[in-house]
Amino acid sequence: MADRTRLGETKTTRKSAGRRTAAKSPDPPRTRTRREPSKPPTGSDDDAALARPRLLSGGNPQIAKGYGNVPVQAYIVAMPGWKGDVGRRLDALIERTVPEVRKAVKWNSPLYGLEGQGWFLGIHCFTRYVKVAFFRGASLRPVPPEPSRQKDVRYFNIHEGDRFDEAQLAAWVEQASRLPGEKM
């Protein structure tokens, strides 16, 4: 019981007090700052999904998990700077290439897939590039250039100012849509 201290005291303070010597005053208690709670949305769910989200590390938008086009468009709108243009181009290319595509946002990343087949592609913002993840990319021809720690996954990274081959990207999207997708 002697090791226990009262709130605000340290062991050295209690020992010092018993010897009648000047004790250092304890450090003031640390205070944590709290963010103000966000105000509840006043409009429809679509308005709430399109509100300006917080950006995570690398400029990746923090978007609540959701299915359909609305959360994906909210993610794209929130992509900072040049990344937003890349996001719009990618989304349009995927829709043109796979008209029956399903969309969702999970783990703060847009996912694209087909009903009953799973997800075949995901997008994620990083500080210097936008990463396009092909979940069965090792099966695509030609194989996308960036490797992954997962043997089946391959990436295509788009940096600011890159002129990427849309025909090649569309070919990868089309091939990926025909492969079994990931169940997430």
- Asked if residue 10 has pLDDT above 80, the reply is no
How confident is the model over 163-180, as pLDDT tens digits? 989 999 999 999 999 999
* β pairing state of 154-159 and 102-106: unpaired
CA dist list (Å): 114 to 59, 132, 166: 28, 17, 21
How confident is the model over 52-73, as pLDDT tens digits? 677 776 777 888 899 999 999 9
Domains and CATH numbers, the chain: 57-178 (3.90.1150.200)
d(CA 154, CA 147): 5
How confident is the model over 72-85, as pLDDT tens digits? 999 999 999 999 99
Residue 69: its pLDDT value, please? 96
How confident is the model over 129-164, as pLDDT tens digits? 999 999 999 999 999 999 999 999 999 999 999 998
| Residue of higher predicted confidence among 120 and 8 | 120
**Token pair in block for residue 140:** 């695509």
- Asked if residue 42 has pLDDT above 60, the reply is no
- Asked if residue 11 has pLDDT above 80, the reply is no
pTM: 0.69
Residue 13: its pLDDT value, please? 47
DSSP code, position 146: B
| Residue of higher predicted confidence among 93 and 184 | 93
Walk across the sheet containing 154-159 and list its strands. 66-67, 102-106, 109-114, 118-125, 129-134, 154-159
